[in-house]
Structure 1
Amino acid sequence: MKAILPGATADTGQSVVLGEAAEPEPATDEVVVAVEAYSVNRGETFQLDGGLDRRWAGWRPGKDVAGTVVRSAADGSGPATGTRVVAHPPAYGWAERVAVPTTSLAELPDSVDAVTAAALPLAGITALRLLRAAGPLAGRRVLLTGASGGVGHYVTELAAACGAAVTAVSATADRGAQLLQLGATELITSVGDAAGPYDVVLESVGGAGLPAALAQLAPGGLLVWFGQASREPVTLDFFDFFRGPNQARIAHFDYTTSDATFGGDLSALVRLVAAGRLHPEIGTVRDWARTADVITDLRARTIRGKAVLTVA
């Protein structure tokens, strides 16, 4: 079958190429999905940058897919052949077909198309679990850094719907403009412009941004560190921390640690989209032959919202 393969080519210098891969060999609790659309996450572009020594042998990218089940699970679990689904496999999704655990997919209603569904899994699941880690948000002030990214988009809409007053931090006002339409109370372009204190800080940039965001916490507040988009290490002076907000807390977040299965959260995301309560921002839709071009554009930050590729 055809699939997107990692590895630069001498003639193009691109980080991925369209080539041939073996058909998936599903475990007894996995279905095979014929992929109609997939989205690209920045984390996957970081993995492609890291070299093969940072991945298991035979690794191919692809964690966010939507399509149709063409082979049901041998153990009888999961949806039947012909069912439209959105899925979150651990890898290999940038291909014509992919094996997916039946615990990591959700059925799609007719009202949710494959392109929209493909924009949901990683960013949407992360947003749901991040907000659970933050605790009750009704009436609370929330500072969200890296807000114009895929996760930030969902967090803003979901947190605002919970009654939070969200201050969204975006690198530029243009990239973050839609966040105000989704319910953000305020849009700023630098943590230094924030007017704290905040009950909750959701920090995803790293570098110098984390200590600056930490200083905005209210007494007893919580900072949840869920990303490092700047790719810069964080240096934190704990003497400054101790002199800061009384009883403030820092928590590291990984979306996979609370639950390694994703079907329940995917079903919740699909319900919210179908009900018109969650609105994925899709910045570009292209044929999957242009995956390398999309990766280049994502690295240059010229795409606002999710990048979705359709598989012919």
Structure 2
Amino acid sequence: MTHEIGSIEEHDLRSVWPHEEYDFTRWLMENIDHLTAKLGIEVEDVSHEEAIGSFSADIVGTEMNTGRPVVIENQYQTTDHDHLGKLLTYSAGKDAGFTIWIAENFRPEHKSVLEWLNESGPKDVRFFGIKPRVISIDGTEARGFEFEIVVEPNDWERELTGELSETERTYLEFYEALTEAYSQRRSDWYKLTPQPQSWLVFGAGIGGVSLGWAFHQGPEFSVELYIDTSDKDRNEAIYDTLKQHQNEIHTNLADLDEELVWQRLPEKRACRIKCPCSIPNKLSELSTEEQEQLVKWGVETMDQFQDEFEQRIADLAI
């Protein structure tokens, strides 16, 4: 069977979002996962027009797995020196770990600046150039949208697998297997890029509340809801509200192999609800078969855990 192939037409962002600040930037804030999934990061606590000195950054957030600030500067049409200056000012002012310039077209000299910064600039800052594309096929009214990476840090894909210890490499390989399996279980889940650390988290619907997997002393591996909005009173209020429904939650999750553990953590700012699984040894000492079983447990448990808690978090009015 032969299918007719149409040509792709590209359109200005204004054909969908007439105003950069009031339309596109606000849309991006509400749909930040479209961008972060492309980059393999997870961003929370997203804010708009955050003051930095006498200037205001378009979008500022926090990368969940590293805790580093994220600065995003949007620009319609072609890059210019004015927006480059703003981008660097905002990045320095926030001590950003991730600096993202979004523009419809990149001048070669500006593309070279970002590449130079990734090569010779601060070693703990990653610079990205991103082109947003609005497309249609053969003049149809329907519009499609995608982000195209124009500039990314040198060896971005390999950066996470550089000079790692055996333990770090084991964590990285384990979470690579787990995220692949979980993305197959839930097709609507934005697959994250794992890092060589003992935990991996993703947003649960409101800033400062995350779902995740983590290894703890014991040793144990857990699926958990972690509450840290940077406000201890608010953290405890969220925790206490959920705990009021503890019996119902336990009934809904009765099929889990392990019981939930509720940790208000009064000595810390955060609170946690976790489903722990005891493991015989630390991860690097588990056999391949044991790690595969742990991945399976992590996927099946998180699937139920996310179904149970995600809507409850979304419904919170705290």
TM superposition score normalised by structure 2: 0.24
**Higher-RCO chain (CA-CA 8 Å, sequence separation at least 6):** 1
User: Which has a greater percent of helix?
Assistant: 2
When Rg is computed on C-alpha atoms for both structures, the one with the higher figure is 2
